[in-house]
Amino acid sequence: MNDEPYDRPGKPYGGDYQILEAIYKSKPNFMLWLGDNTYFREADFTTKSGIYYRQTHTRSVKELQPLLANTHHYAIWDDHDFGPNDANGSFYNKALTLKAFQDFWPNPNYGIEGTDACAGKFSYADCDFFLLDNRTFRTPLYDTGLSEILGSKQIEWLIAGLKSSRASFKFVAVGGQFLNTAQVYENHANYAAERDFLLRRIREENIRNVVFLSGDRHHSEVNHLALSDDLYISEITSSPLTSSAHRSVKEKNDNLVKGSLIKERNYATLKVSGKLKKRALSITFYNSQGEELYNHAIPLQDGK
């Protein structure tokens, strides 16, 4: 959301706030915010007053009010509501930004035992949603030693939850892209060892109907990866809402679903339908006016 006294010189990042009204008019059962829900400026994240000012400023945008007031909201964070751009777990003010995030986003639960993770879980109908923290445990990309984004405790918490889940679809929300194979920006592909470990654990435990949900990239797309002959996972990336979109996306992503790339401001809806044991997931992307851009379907996989 633009804030002229603190924005960069020239053209501001934000625009097309009517997208928030379009989402409201679609009457969603709930809204899932996938990180970078606000953008801390350099003047914000060093003080409590700055942190709470930024959260309050974003929350006060006129076009957002009907959506806020008329449906449930769940949220994860990414770097811009955690701290500085591309921040990792060494950020000194992370306890304060976590407290502010919890104050503004009252998710049903927070935390993983023995950690200060901005993570949790909720269920809606016969679907489970796992909300991951991709900042608190994040390390730099070390030249030597282990580099990680989610950390071992959070991964084991996730695998335990996925394995015990009886949900039709198991949604995993995380700030950065997981399945995209391009080693660019903050994609999980840059942290190959951790990414491979999590994929291996999902395959070894034969966990089906896992769908990752991500934002971050300033474009939207669908990714699909087969882990074996009869086991696959998908990822829905939806970004941005009101920030600037990347008009030129040229990267080698082996898992990209052809035709799914969207390079304008947009939002996505998820619709689960069908009989209990024969569910199907429909993902539809819309532009800032609420006009349909792309649709993709994911059937329920047989087995656990």
Q: How does pLDDT run across 97-123, given as a tens digit for each residue?
A: 999 999 999 999 999 999 999 999 999
Amino acid at 160: A
Closest CA to 263 of 282, 279, 244: 244
Please report the domains of the chain, with CATH numbers, ordered by start residue.
Answer: 4-299 (3.60.21.70)
**Helix axes 152-164 and 192-204, enclosed angle (nearest 10):** 20
The beta-strand segments (E) located in 133-246 are: 169-173, 210-214, 221-228, 231-237
**Which pLDDT tens digits describe the chain residue by residue (304 residues)?**
999 888 888 888 899 999 999 999 999 999 999 999 999 999 999 999 999 999 999 999 999 999 999 999 999 999 999 999 999 999 999 999 999 999 999 999 999 999 999 999 999 999 999 999 999 999 999 999 899 999 999 999 999 999 999 999 999 999 999 999 999 999 999 999 999 999 999 999 999 999 999 999 999 999 999 999 999 999 999 999 999 999 878 899 999 999 999 999 999 999 999 998 899 999 999 999 999 999 999 999 986 5
Q: What is the largest CA-CA distance in the chain?
A: 55
Asked if 30 contacts 72 with a C-beta cutoff of 8 angstroms, the reply is yes
Q: Which residues have C-beta within 8 Å of that of residue 251, sequence separation ≥ 6?
A: 180, 182, 184
Q: Which residues have C-beta within 8 Å of that of residue 94, sequence separation ≥ 6?
A: 82, 83, 116, 135, 136
Q: Give the pLDDT confidence score for residue 12 in this predicted structure.
A: 85
31 has which bridge partners? 73
Q: How far apart are CA 249 and CA 281, in angstroms?
A: 27
Q: Which residue's entry shows tokens 């796992």?
A: 130
Q: Give the pLDDT confidence score for residue 8 in this predicted structure.
A: 82
In this structure, the chain runs to a length of 304
Q: How far apart are CA 60 and CA 276, in angstroms?
A: 40
Q: What angle do CA 42, 245, 77 make, to 5 degrees?
A: 50
Q: How far apart are CA 262 and CA 280, in angstroms?
A: 23
Q: How far apart are CA 262 and CA 285, in angstroms?
A: 9
Q: Give the pLDDT confidence score for residue 113 in this predicted structure.
A: 93
Q: How does pLDDT run across 151-210, given as a tens digit for each residue?
A: 999 999 999 999 999 999 999 999 999 999 999 999 999 999 999 999 999 999 999 999
268 has which bridge partners? 285
Amino acid at 54: R
Closest CA to 104 of 42, 154, 33: 33
CB atoms within 10 A of CB 272: 18
Count helices and strands in the chain by DSSP H and E runs: 7, 11
Asked if 202 contacts 227 with a C-beta cutoff of 8 angstroms, the reply is yes
The C-alpha torsion from 135 through 141 and 144 to 150, rounded to 10°, is 30
The beta-strand segments (E) located in 39-152 are: 72-76, 120-124, 127-131
Asked if 149 contacts 176 with a C-beta cutoff of 8 angstroms, the reply is yes
